Amino acid sequence: MSDAAKLSLDGKDFEYPVLSGTIGPDVVDIRKMYGQTGAFTYDPGFTSTASCRSEITYIDGDEGVLLHRGYPIGELAEKSNFMEVCHLLLNGELPTADELDAFTGTITRHTMVHEQLATFFRGFRRDAHPMAIMCGVVGALSAFYHDSTDVHDPVQRTIASHRLIAKMPTLAAMAYKYSLGQPFLYPDNSLSYTGNFLRMTFGVPAEPYVVNPVIERAMDRIFILHADHEQNASTSTVRLAGSSGANPFACIAAGIACLWGPAHGGANEAALNMLREIGTVDRIPEYIARAKDKNDPFRLMGFGHRVYKNYDPRATVMQQTVREVFAELKVNDPVFDVALQLEELALNDPYFVEKKLFPNVDFYSGVILSAIGFPTSMFTVLFALARTVGWVAQWNEMITDPDQKIGRPRQLYTGPTQREYVPADKR
């Protein structure tokens, strides 16, 4: 591509530099455009806008490629573990054995939450959605950990990052226990990050809990698959919230709120609900027809992606993981057959082929999580738990980026022009 882009507006010509990354599309640097031309660009949903520079995650949606710091997601899911991936995302490199020990030790030491947070939970109704609880309690961490809220201090930023990664499983498990009316379990730091989470979620204080290594590994892999995904809606929300200098706990709470929506993190819950509603393979054509009907708002949940116009590489790993979990737990859930058949029919249907709609990560994740024993309301919480490292890594990168400014999009105003105020009795 050339090194400058030309724009003609109102009879005048302007030139804008074209910037290249290490890989991926070039970007036209329009930072001076408004000052020079008086015009904005219009890009709802930011489909053509790079909002920042980043060295963390790369996605090639056409090819179905996802790299974290250069490493393909499939390889990380197969050979690495979540703690290693956290280190990689936060620090840029895979840790040495000593670095991994030190990092895991630090995260492990931060797993407990302030005792008063338990009282905070009790303010919620028992039937509160766990994501509602997570939005509240993660934001509330800023009221408990004042010594790590100064965003200009790199040491405090690191401590806050570690605290968030470490405490998220504890808070997620507490949200679950609260809904059941069971006692909270304190972390057991002799266990792995993921084993600890499984015990706090499914264990009870009255009995020993034995972590199943197959489920531990599957869960760890699910965390890896959700750890980061470039400038998606919740990550952009975290960056935007952080751009004003807000503290990291508040920023992550904002990310959680954004993730909750069914077009984003809530899709795994919606996908499993849809598969259960379909119920049997003979009803699949009816649902495919509905998804294609322009007059029906129904969409195949777990299908399609803003960036991937190919098979989501995370969905491939998920599908494999479903098989492993089902074999271990001896589950024979018809929902998996419905998912496999639905995928096959949709991938051979011209509507889905032409629009490049493939299964995304959420298509299979609900099936596995349900087999492990999580209720659907916990699915997005697990996504939030795993994505916290990505949010934190992106937030740190934003704070240290010399180009960083408070996020402030502009608009194409289409409302009334200035008009006179008319008192109520004269309207």
Q: Is 263 in the site for ligand CMC (CB under 6 A)?
A: yes
* Shortest-Cβ-distance residue relative to ligand CMC: 304
Which one of 291, 318, 372, 381 is in contact with ligand CMC (CB under 6 A)? 291
Of the two residues 253 and 300, which places its CB atom closer to ligand CMC in the complex?
300
Provide the minimum distance between the beta carbon of 299 and ligand CMC in the complex, in angstroms, as a whole number. 4
Q: Is 319 in the site for ligand CMC (CB under 6 A)?
A: no
Provide the minimum distance between the beta carbon of 319 and ligand CMC in the complex, in angstroms, as a whole number. 15
- Which residues lie below 8 Å from residue 75, measured CB to CB, with a gap of 6+? none
Q: Which stretch binds ligand CMC (CB under 6 A): 88-96, 207-215, 297-305, 367-375?
A: 297-305
Of the two residues 113 and 315, which places its CB atom closer to ligand CMC in the complex?
315
Provide the minimum distance between the beta carbon of 405 and ligand CMC in the complex, in angstroms, as a whole number. 26
Task: Give the separation between CA 365 and CA 387, rounded to whole angstroms.
Answer: 14
Which one of 302, 313, 366, 390 is in contact with ligand CMC (CB under 6 A)? 302
Q: Is 224 in the site for ligand CMC (CB under 6 A)?
A: no
Of the two residues 125 and 283, which places its CB atom closer to ligand CMC in the complex?
283
Q: Is 306 in the site for ligand CMC (CB under 6 A)?
A: yes
Count of residues interacting with ligand CMC (CB under 6 A): 20
Greatest alpha-carbon pair distance for the chain in Å reads 79
152 is catalytic: no
- Which residues lie below 8 Å from residue 112, measured CB to CB, with a gap of 6+? 167, 170, 186, 187
Provide the minimum distance between the beta carbon of 73 and ligand CMC in the complex, in angstroms, as a whole number. 12
Active-site residue, from 220, 229, 305, 312 = 305
Active-site residue, from 220, 228, 312, 362 = 362
Q: Which stretch binds ligand CMC (CB under 6 A): 150-158, 163-171, 320-328, 360-368?
A: 360-368
Provide the minimum distance between the beta carbon of 302 and ligand CMC in the complex, in angstroms, as a whole number. 5
Which one of 304, 313, 366, 390 is in contact with ligand CMC (CB under 6 A)? 304
Q: In DSSP terms, which residues pair with 303 in a beta bridge?
A: 359
Query: In a 10 Å sphere around its CB, with 0-12 CB exposed, 13-18 middle and 19+ buried, how is residue 327 labelled?
Result: exposed
Of the two residues 198 and 346, which places its CB atom closer to ligand CMC in the complex?
346
Positions 45 through 74 that interact with ligand CMC (CB under 6 A): none
Of the two residues 283 and 355, which places its CB atom closer to ligand CMC in the complex?
355
Minimal CA–CA distance to 165: which of 107, 237, 85? 107
Of the two residues 34 and 46, which places its CB atom closer to ligand CMC in the complex?
46
Q: Is 360 in the site for ligand CMC (CB under 6 A)?
A: yes
362 is catalytic: yes
Minimal CA–CA distance to 168: which of 245, 107, 229? 107
Which one of 216, 220, 343, 362 is in contact with ligand CMC (CB under 6 A)? 362
Amino acid symbol at 386 = A
Which one of 88, 134, 357, 378 is in contact with ligand CMC (CB under 6 A)? 357
Q: Is 125 in the site for ligand CMC (CB under 6 A)?
A: no
Provide the minimum distance between the beta carbon of 390 and ligand CMC in the complex, in angstroms, as a whole number. 11
Amino acid symbol at 75 = E
Which one of 361, 369, 378, 399 is in contact with ligand CMC (CB under 6 A)? 361
Of the two residues 307 and 398, which places its CB atom closer to ligand CMC in the complex?
307
Of the two residues 174 and 339, which places its CB atom closer to ligand CMC in the complex?
339
Chain positions contacting ligand CMC, by CB under 6 A? 229, 232, 263-265, 267, 291, 299-306, 355, 357, 360-362
Catalytic residues: 305, 362
